[in-house]
Amino acid sequence: MIDSILMNISNNKLFGGCIMLLTNIGGKYLMLEMPNNIDKLFANYFLLRYLVLFSIFFMATRDIKTSILLSLLFFIIIKFILNEKSSFCLFNKESDISKKNISTEEYNRAIEIINKYNQTRL
**What does pTM read for this prediction?**
0.52
- Distances in Å between the Cα of 65 and the Cα atoms of 68, 71, 73, 80, 101 are 5, 10, 12, 22, 49
Helix/strand/coil for 19: helix
- pLDDT tens figures, 61-97: 888 898 899 999 988 888 888 888 878 787 765 555 5
Please give the Cα distance from 16 to 11 (Å, whole number): 8
- pLDDT tens figures, 94-106: 555 555 688 889 9
Please give the Cα distance from 95 to 89 (Å, whole number): 13
